[in-house]
Amino acid sequence: MLNAIIFVTGAAILALELLASRILAPYFGVSLYIWSGILSITLISLASGYWAGGKIAHGSKGARQSTTLTLLFALMPAIAAIAIVASCLAYPYLFYALARMDLVFGAFIACLVLLFVPLLATSAMNPLLVAILLRQKDEGGGLADAGAGRVFFISTLGSVAGVFVTAFGIIPFLSNFAATLVVAVTLATLSLILLMLKSTRLEKRKSLAVTTGIALVSSIAALAGADYYTGRMWPVSHGDTGWSHEASYRSMFGTVKVLRSNPMNNRKFLRIYFQDGLIQNVVDSDNHSTSMYTYALEALSLAYRPEPQSALVLGIGAGMVPMRLANYGIAVTAVDIDPASLRAASEVFGLERDKVRVHEADARTFLQSCASAYHVIVVDLFHGDGVPDYLITREFFRDLGRCLAPDGVAIFNTFADLDAPRTYAHFLTTLRSELPYVMVHRPDHASARHINSFVVASARPLPAPATVDLRHVPAQHLDTLSQLLRTPIPLNQRLLDQGRVATDARNILSRDMSASQLVYRRHVVDALPAAFFVN
C-alpha cells in the first residue's frame, strides 16, 4: 500500500507541474522566462522536500520513531491537498495582480504559491518511506539500500503515469481550476486510506483524522463549487460594454473561451475568441469579423494573386479567414493542430465544413507532405504571445515554398515590436533566404509600438498590388486598410539590420522573441479584466 501511495504522489507532482503551465500561461504568457520559473520552482520544491524528509528521518531510532515517521508520511498528502485548495481559491485574483506588477518576478511568485508547499510535502514522502523501510529491515526486509532505489523508481513511474493521465484524461475535459482540485481530492484520499488501514502503525491518529478531514472536505467542496466560484467573477465590463462567459473548448493544446457581450442598440452582440490569454478575434452575432487583420489577410491575398483557384490557411482561429476566402469560390484547405479551435470555429463562429476542407494537424508536418501547389498560403500561427520557434526557421519556409504554385504568394500575419526591431529582422532575413521577394504592409499607427505587420513573400518577383473591393470592410477599419494596401514597404537595410538566418539546428530567435512577448503580454494584462484570464 505504501508503494502504491508513493506511485500516486509521484503522479500528482507531474500533474501539478503540467497544470501550473496551463494556469500561468494566460497571465504571464508562454516564453522561456515563464518555463524557467515553473522548472526552477519545481526543482527547488523537490530538493527542499527530499532534504526535509531526510532531515526528519535522520537519527530516528526505535519503534516509537517508526510510528512517528508513518504518521508524518500519512499527513503529507493531506497537507499538500490543503495547500492546493488554498492556492486555487487565491490564484484567480492573486495571479492577475502579480502579472500587472511584473511578469517575470510575478511568474516566479505565482509558481511558489501554486507549487512549493504541495511539491515539498509530496516529495518529502520519498525519504520518509525509505526511513520506514529501514526500520523494518531488521524484521526480515533484507534490503541492502533500505529500498531507496525502489522507492524513487516507483515514484518516477508514477510521475510518468501522471503526465499521461493529466494530458489525456483530465486537461481536455476539466477547467484548470477543477483539474487542480482533482489532484487535491486524490491526495486527501491517500491520507484517508492510511488512516483507515488497521495495519498502519500510527500514533496521534486524532491529529491525522482532523487534518485529513479538513483536506478532504475542503477539496471536495471546492471541486463541487468550482464553476460557481470562478463563475461569480462574471459578468465584467470591458470596452464600454458588459461581457459574460458563453462557452469553453478544451484540449491538450489549450483552452478556447468564447466571451459574449451584452446586446447593443441594434440588438446585435459581439463574441470574442479568446485563447492563451489573448483576444484572437472579435465577431458579431452575424459571424462577421470586426478584427482588422481578417480583412487585411483577405485583401492582400486577392491583391497579390487575383482570382486564386486554391488557398491554404495555416491556423484557423475563429475560422474567419478561411470562410472569407471560401466565399469567393476558392478551394480552401485549413490546418490547425488544436481540436478545440476546430470545434469552436464550427459550433460558434460559422465555419462551414462543406466549404472549407479542414485538417487537424501540425502546420509543419502538413507542409512536409502536402500534395498540392496552392496559389495562396495564409500563415496565421500563434501560440501564447507569438509564433512557435520551429515555425519560423529556414526549413519551415523551405517546406512552405514547396507547397506554393510557381506564381503563388504566402501572406503572413505577424506582430512587430518597433522598439526591438532585431527580432523582426531575424524573421525577415530567414524568410528571404527561401522566398526572396518580400513586401511588408503595416498600418500607420504613429503612437503604437507593437503592431500587426503583414508580410507577402514569393519565389518570383511580386507584382504591384491590384485594386481590391473593400466595400464589405467595417467602417472603423476602412481607412487603415486602404492606407496599408497603398503603401507596401520593400525590404531595406533598416528592416534587415542585425538579422540572421534561423535554422532548426540554430534558432537565435528564442531569446529576442521572449523579450518582445513580455512587452505584448504586459499590454494585454493591463487592458483586460481579471475574469478573462481564469481557466
Determine, yes or no, domain membership for 512: yes
C-alpha cell at 520: 505584448
Q: Which of 150, 116, 138 is nearest to 46 (CA)?
A: 116
Determine, yes or no, domain membership for 310: yes
C-alpha cell at 364: 509543419
Residue 281, strand partner residues: 273
* pLDDT tens digits along 215-225: 999 999 999 99
97 pLDDT tier (thresholds 50, 70, 90): very high
Q: Which of 522, 516, 448, 20 is nearest to 277 (CA)?
A: 522
User: Domain of 476: which CATH number?
Assistant: 3.40.50.150
372 and 431 fall within a common domain = yes
* pLDDT tens digits along 492-522: 888 899 889 988 888 777 767 777 777 778 8
27 and 163 fall within a common domain = yes
273 and 358 fall within a common domain = no
Residues 6+ apart with CB under 8 A from 288: 474
Determine, yes or no, domain membership for 56: yes
Mean pLDDT, the chain, whole residue set: 89
Of 209, 231, 253, which one is at a domain's C-terminal end? 231
275 and 395 fall within a common domain = no
* pLDDT tens digits along 315-374: 999 999 999 999 999 999 999 999 999 999 999 999 999 999 999 999 999 999 887 899
Q: Which domain holds residue 258?
A: 236-279
Q: Which of 381, 410, 414 is nearest to 398 (CA)?
A: 410
202 and 273 fall within a common domain = no
Determine, yes or no, domain membership for 270: yes
Given a contact cutoff of 8 angstroms between Cβ atoms, the answer to whether 484 and 442 are in contact is: yes
| Integer CA distances (angstroms), 261 to 247, 340, 529, in order | 13, 21, 14
195 pLDDT tier (thresholds 50, 70, 90): confident
245 and 303 fall within a common domain = no
The domain total for the chain is 3
pLDDT given for residue 437 in this prediction: 96
The strand pair at 404-417 and 374-379 is best described as parallel
Sign, CA dihedral 62-64-69-70, equals positive
227 and 240 fall within a common domain = no
Sign, CA dihedral 167-385-296-408, equals negative
* pLDDT tens digits along 50-71: 999 888 887 555 444 777 788 8
Whose grid coordinates read 525590404?
491
160 and 258 fall within a common domain = no
509 and 480 fall within a common domain = yes
* Separation CA 535–CA 348 (nearest Å): 19
C-alpha cell at 310: 486554391
Please state, for a pLDDT cut of 90, what percent of the chain lies above it.
Answer: 65
Determine, yes or no, domain membership for 62: yes
Q: Is pLDDT at 149 greater than 90 in this prediction?
A: no
275 and 302 fall within a common domain = no
Determine, yes or no, domain membership for 420: yes
Q: Which of 347, 358, 368, 165 is nearest to 252 (CA)?
A: 165
* Separation CA 414–CA 420 (nearest Å): 14
171 and 138 fall within a common domain = yes
Determine, yes or no, domain membership for 430: yes
| Integer CA distances (angstroms), 157 to 8, 48, 154, in order | 9, 21, 5
Determine, yes or no, domain membership for 284: no
Whose grid coordinates read 518511506?
129
241 and 218 fall within a common domain = no
146 pLDDT tier (thresholds 50, 70, 90): low
